[in-house]
Structure 1
Amino acid sequence: MIPFVDLKAQHAALREELLSAIGGVLQSCEFTLGREVAAFEASFAEYCGTRHGVGVNSGTSALHLALLAAGAGPGDEVVTVPFTFMATASAIQYTGATPVFVDIDPRSFTMDPAAVEAAITPRTKVLLPVHLFGQTADMDPLMEIARRHGLVVIEDAAQAHGALYKGRRAGSIGDMGCFSFYPGKNLGACGEGGMVVSNHPEAVQRMRMLRDWGAERKYHHVLKGYNYRLEGIQGAVLNVKLRYLEAWTEARRAAAARYDRLLAQADVGLPEAMAWGRHVYHVYAVRCAERAALQQGLAEAGIQTGIHYPFPIHLLQAFADLGYPAGSFPHAEQAAREVLSLPMFPELTEAQSAEVAEAVRRLAVPAQASLASVT
């Protein structure tokens, strides 16, 4: 069996370092926030090229607090994309604001700058591009639009740890950048975790209070806040793992290059690394019109795959109240029908890559050939 993600391999290589770091937290008893979290906030912010980091308990919480710090609330609108995990839109709704969707660029799977202007209204407060699959959105035109309209820009960088846009790290380009440290991410905790990075001290101070029940100091609750604190053990784990992130990123990029080479003649669409930056391949998503058959065939061959994402947000039952009918965002809807994520993790071997690629070449059938075989 070739797994979709192999966390056992990663943790086996770091076992002694991780156990030592966790043991330090058990000794200090700083289980919530504390020195390990503070050290990770500083180190990860520096890695991203920002001055501040606010550690929280999930990527969703990071988005929620960033939106609140931006002033989003009832009556406001936040422009984002429908081809993402539902947390992006849910965090917007947590504030009382309304998600307004624009379509994606089918090459990068990220926000199409050409679609944004028409979505902006007097109620628009925030522009929230999503850096998907390990690649950033095209940020320069998005920033120009946002600045012209006086909008706050929040980057959803949950899948883009270490990705570059014209030499700048994901998360450092907008006003705030939000990350998830869910275990399967390029930088993953042993549990849940998230962070907002920013160069704006006022927003950072507000988020620090909001994550800890709105307290300026213990029992002095200035704001109506939340229990969004990052745990000390996760801070310790992430401090260890951050030292390996660049090496893991290069291993992912090497694995993606192997796939590119081995699948060049396969009947699937390959991910396109845009010229503006460094793709860090959180997932390696191919496109196939006959996805279900390909996924089933790969499963029968002992190869795990994933789908990111089978439904665009505007077509989920949970968001039907937004009123977007099928056909509203054709590129997002087509991507949701076609994308299939192949095994991708830093420890993926050449032999495993070759086995996956051989199976894809054998099993991927163009839609026309599939229809012809039926008739």
Structure 2
Amino acid sequence: MTAEVSALTVPFFTQSATFSGLWPITRRHIVEVIQNGKYSHGRKVLELERALAAYTGAAHVVGVNSGTDALVLLLRACGLRPGDEVVVPAFSFIASASSVVLAGGEPVFADIEPDGYGLDPASVAAVAGPRARFVMPVHLFHHLADLTGLAEVARGLDLTVVEDSAEAIGMRHNGAHAGLLGAGGVLSFFPTKTLGALGDAGAVITNDPVIAETVGALRHHGRFGRTIDNFPGISTGTGAVGVNSKMDDVQAAVLLAKLDRLEADIRRRAVLARRYADGLAGVPGVRKLPSVLPRRASVRGVFYVYVVEVDRRDELAAHLAGRGIGTETYYPTPLHLQPCFARLGHRPGDFPHAEAASRRTLALPLYPDLPLGDVDRVCAAIRSFYLGERA
């Protein structure tokens, strides 16, 4: 890479400027961890759980070591039994389906709505069979799934709603935070998330005290207390063996430092998204820009990432990379066509909206540190690809 291109690089994600500004408060939290002398499942994790409860309005927040573990433990705490089926979208990150398998269940795929990328309630109703006990809407990119329509289907089929709200911190429906509209939900604090740590971390959020108590035990080898040998089993009567999924206090310290500026970061992300919308409006080849669906005026979206649908997606990504601009492809192979789920017997064409999204979606750089001028550069490079303009 030439020095000229290197100087113009727009990374897909970085938070170096964020941490430069937050270092004093981050250091204070980390010093407290060191002084407390407990580096996992300690006071700082408890402080974060309480702060997240205040932010989300959840009655209970249980910190764990990843968003994936949060899904697994939430499903187990909700009573998933071996062989129970969970309806999940065919277009999502692999953890939305692998968590079901890891919890002992079986994923059943359904198609998505073409606009908001959430589970299509009609498709859920079509695929849910007699063994289906759960439906897992995933809130992708910047928008909540159709929780009203999915709740109606779930009631009719006697399904428990468990939300994969890993990307959805700050998103709300009629004032209720994502993850609190069913039995419970999860948060992921992977570094690129809207509220990101310096490594893996996650949480379960719920208003159900039994679910919270069960997750709290499962994350710590089945212990209800903090003693070495207190393994009384799970109060729900499952007798389940727990795992080691405790959150590190250093990650909790980082998240506490960043939580104070979360709303400012969300507003900044919205400014960047509007800049993209203005810069890409009317560009041939850009099929779809993200927007809040009109029928969901009660939804507050948050731009975790800025995902567009484009023609010749992979060629465009290569074009941008050649100009020092990072992108990510969400998700190039839909879940029902992943090799690890080949045993379910799906074929191309089974879920056309999910497959179309997998061919066309491309995520552009979007994070609070991103200058507006870099957004303009990305837009100019995209116009140069489709219109032959010089970028």
Contact 2:91 2:358 (8 Å CA) reproduced: yes
1:159 aligns with 2:167: yes
**Structure 1 residue aligned with 2:6:** none
> Which letter maps to 1:302?
G
Q: Provide structure 1 residue ranges, at least 5 long, that are not aligned to the other structure.
A: 367-375
Q: Secondary structure at the match of 2:224?
A: strand
Is contact 1:70–1:126 with CA below 8 Å preserved after alignment?
no
Counterpart residue number, 2:269: 252
Matched, 1:264 2:281: yes
Alpha-carbon contact 2:15-2:369 (below 8 Å) kept: no
Could you tell which deviates more after superposition, 262-271 or 85-94?
262-271
- Tell me the residue number matched to 1:225: 242
Partner residue, 2:103: 95
> 2:143 maps to what in 1?
135
Which whole-Å CA distance do the structure 1 matches of 2:149 and 2:271 have between them? 30
Q: Which runs of 5+ in 2 are unaligned?
A: 1-8, 234-239
SS at match of 1:60: helix
CA contact (8 A) 1:134 1:161 kept: no
For 2:353, give the aligned amino acid. H
Which of the residues 122, 147, 171 maps onto 2:155?
A: 147
Displacement, 1:18? 1.1
**Counterpart secondary structure, 2:363:** strand
Contact 1:291 1:339 in 2 (8 A): yes
Letter in 2 for 1:204: A
Instruction: State how far apart, in whole Å, the 2-side matches of 1:232 and 1:351 are.
Output: 37
Which stretch has the larger CA shift, 81-90 or 4-13?
4-13
Which one-letter code corresponds to 2:185 in the other structure? G
Q: Which position in structure 1 is the counterpart of 2:29? A: 21
1:239 counterpart = 2:256: yes
CA contact (8 A) 1:213 1:227 kept: yes
Q: Which residue number in structure 2 is paired with residue 287 of structure 1?
A: 309
Larger mean Cα displacement after TM superposition, 148-157 or 336-345: 148-157
For 1:184, what is the secondary structure of its paired residue? coil
Corresponding residue for residue 3 of structure 2: none
Task: Write the letter of the residue equivalent to 1:68.
Answer: R
Counterpart Cα distance in 2 of 1:71 and 1:323: 27
Q: Which residue of the partner structure matches residue 354 of structure 1?
A: 376
Find the counterpart in structure 1 of residue 189 from structure 2.
181
TM normalised by structure 2 equals 0.91
CA-CA distance at 1:365 after TM superposition: 6.5
Q: Deviations over 1:232-287 (max 9, x none)?
A: 11111111111111110010011001111111021202113223222211111111
Read off the aligned partner of 2:293 and give its amino acid letter.
M
Please give the alpha-carbon distance, in whole angstroms, between the structure 1 residues aligned to 2:50 and 2:131.
35
2:19 to 11, 19, 32: 11
Contact residue 84 and residue 313 of structure 1 kept, 8 A: yes
1:317 is the counterpart of 2:339: yes
State the Cα deviation string for residues 9-40 of structure 1 (Å, max 9, x = none). 22112111112211110111121111111111
Shift of 1:174: 1.4
* Paired amino acid for 2:264: A
User: Contact between 1:295 and 1:305, CA under 8 Å: does it hold in 2?
Assistant: yes
* 1:343 aligned onto 2:360: no
Deviations 1:311-370 (A, max 9, x none): 11111112211211111111001100111111100122121111111111111369xxxx
What code does the residue aligned with 1:297 have?
H
How many percent identity over aligned positions? 40
Which amino acid counterpart does residue 316 of structure 1 have in structure 2?
Answer: Q
Aligned-partner Cα distance in 2 for 1:334–1:113: 18
Normalised TM-score (structure 1): 0.95
Distance 2:13 2:320 in 1: 15
Aligned residues: 366
Kindly indicate whether the alpha-carbon contact (under 8 Å) linking 1:290 and 1:365 is maintained by their aligned counterparts in 2.
no
1:326 maps to: 348
Alignment-derived partner of residue 62 in structure 1: 70
Counterparts of 2:308 and 2:28, CA distance in 1: 39
